[in-house]
Amino acid sequence: MADTEYCRRTAVTGLSVSPTDATRLRELVSEWKRGCQLAVNEAWGVCHTRSEVQQLAYDELREHTDLSSQHAVLATHRAAEAIKRAGESGTKPEFTSPTVAFDTRTMTVFEDRTVSLTTTDDRVRCDLDLPADGGYQSRYLDGEEWEPAKSALRYRDGEFVFHLGFRTPKPAVDPPTEGATVLGVDLGVENLAVTSTARFFPAGELSHRREEFERVRESLEATGTRSASRTLRQAGYRTDQFVTHRLHEIANGIVEEATRYDCELVAFGKLAEVHDLLPEADPFHEWLFERLLSMVEYRAAARDIAVVEVNPEYTSQRCMECGFTHPQNRDVEAGHFECLKCEASANDDYNAAKNIAFRCVRRGPLSSRGLGAAACALQSGVVTPDDGFTPYAELSDPPLSD
Ligand SMILES: [Zn+2]
């Protein structure tokens, strides 16, 4: 099951740690930071996917740190995340945060409210320090449907805090078998997302905030004082919060749009392909796309809307009016689409979003689960392969009626 097909929750808990175990965990924290940094140093400017960074840096980590084999793997993955987040134009990440990742191979959660953790030495087993009434944490610890998942150990001010992750399969959305209306979404650099119904979500503020943060970082790093590094941490945190907040807004907007136009399906171009087709996107954008897609899936599931991926090839070159496909139909610099054959013109991302919806109708989603998309939702009507364009006013049961 793909990673995006789970709902995730985190239960935060203190840990009761004996002095000997505390020493082991502190040693782990320090080796972890070193391992992540080694992996970033190896991979920076070379590669950024998890598997690439793992391949490149794993042996180095095993040789030069005391991390267990699985923690070495996790550290290369953490490094890959950090490289993506920083993007190509950003500053090389520095690992100063005392936070170690755990997964089900490096931790075991027991029914007696204890957890056993892999360190650089023996495993340690310690009590979870839960509120007397069990707290909200017991809902996940006791809930049959929740299983332990990716977690994190933080060490701050002499205390260990465990962010115990849980996951459960997402409620399956019964896919429509026929006659569904699909909303197409094009992902891009100028506009982070554009829907086939002509709703635009510009990336402007996101790129702007990140550039601003990089400028602040440069000047603070030049200062090099303790208070400068604290200010830097705070600025980084605020930037992350801003980006997350904006992604939530965009995800909400896309799902609202699907609801407004009575769509049972939302189609995206397959992300792996999007990366190849968008030479102007850097790893930061990949990171934004992945987060956005999983936020949309999560919200859409709550409204019984299925999210699918289609092959995005040529969706930016094809004319939605006449079907003529040519690279020169599109002026990437100007963000403009004008068909060489029928002279129809539009914003290029909007044209691509319509094509993504249409591809879902014509060929179905990539991981075909028997979804039956019959019509694309556009701003003023629907398009079907057989009947062409029908304005909403002529439908027996039009959306947007309120
Ligand atoms: Zn045309």
Amino acid 136 reads Y
Query: Distance from the CA of 344 to the center of ligand 1, in angstroms?
Result: 5
Query: Distance from the CA of 325 to the center of ligand 1, in angstroms?
Result: 8
Q: For position 372, what pLDDT does the model report?
A: 66
Query: Distance from the CA of 264 to the center of ligand 1, in angstroms?
Result: 28
Q: How confident is the model at residue 20 (pLDDT cuts 50, 70, 90)?
A: very high
68 vs 138 pLDDT, higher one: 68
pLDDT of 66-96, one tens digit each? 999 999 999 999 999 999 888 876 789 999 8
Amino acid 72 reads A
Residue with the two structure tokens 């087993």:
125
Joined together, the tokens standing for residue 28 give 């782990």
pTM over 0.85: no
Query: Distance from the CA of 361 to the center of ligand 1, in angstroms?
Result: 19
pLDDT of 255-274, one tens digit each? 999 999 999 999 998 876 76
Mean per-residue pLDDT, 273-286: 73
Joined together, the tokens standing for residue 390 give 């029908």
Query: Distance from the CA of 186 to the center of ligand 1, in angstroms?
Result: 19
Could you tell me if 35 and 163 are in contact, meaning their C-beta atoms sit under 8 angstroms apart? no
Q: For position 175, what pLDDT does the model report?
A: 56
Q: For position 3, what pLDDT does the model report?
A: 55
* Distance of alpha carbon 319 from alpha carbon 340, whole angstroms: 9
Q: Is the pLDDT of residue 142 over 60?
A: yes
Query: Distance from the CA of 273 to the center of ligand 1, in angstroms?
Result: 24
Joined together, the tokens standing for residue 402 give 């309120």
Query: Distance from the CA of 319 to the center of ligand 1, in angstroms?
Result: 5
Across the chain, what does the average pLDDT equal? 87
pLDDT of 163-178, one tens digit each? 999 998 876 666 566 7
Per this entry, what is the length of the chain?
A: 402
Query: Distance from the CA of 309 to the center of ligand 1, in angstroms?
Result: 25
Q: Strand pairing partners for 9?
A: 166
Mean per-residue pLDDT, 335-341: 93
Supply the angle between the helices 50-64 and 19-43 in degrees, to the nearest 10: 120
Query: Distance from the CA of 390 to the center of ligand 1, in angstroms?
Result: 18
Q: For position 36, what pLDDT does the model report?
A: 97
pLDDT of 2-13, one tens digit each? 555 677 888 889
DSSP per-residue string spanning 291-349: HHHHHHHHHHHHTT-EEEEE--TTTTTB-TTT--B-GGGEETTTTEEE-TTT--EEEHH
Query: Distance from the CA of 337 to the center of ligand 1, in angstroms?
Result: 10
Q: How confident is the model at residue 42 (pLDDT cuts 50, 70, 90)?
A: very high
Q: For position 387, what pLDDT does the model report?
A: 81
Question: What is the torsion angle, in degrees rounded to the nearest 10, for the CA atoms of residue 78, residue 157, residue 239 and residue 349?
Answer: 30
* Distance of alpha carbon 150 from alpha carbon 130, whole angstroms: 19
Q: Strand pairing partners for 114?
A: 127
Q: For position 275, what pLDDT does the model report?
A: 67
Backbone angles phi, psi at 179, to 5 degrees: 75, 15
Joined together, the tokens standing for residue 6 give 């789970």
User: What are the residues whose beta carbons fall under 8 Å from the beta carbon of 36, sequence distance 6 or more?
Assistant: 75, 78, 79, 82, 95
Mean per-residue pLDDT, 114-138: 89
Cα 238 to chain center, whole Å? 18
Cα 219 to chain center, whole Å? 30
* Helix, coil or strand: residue 365: coil
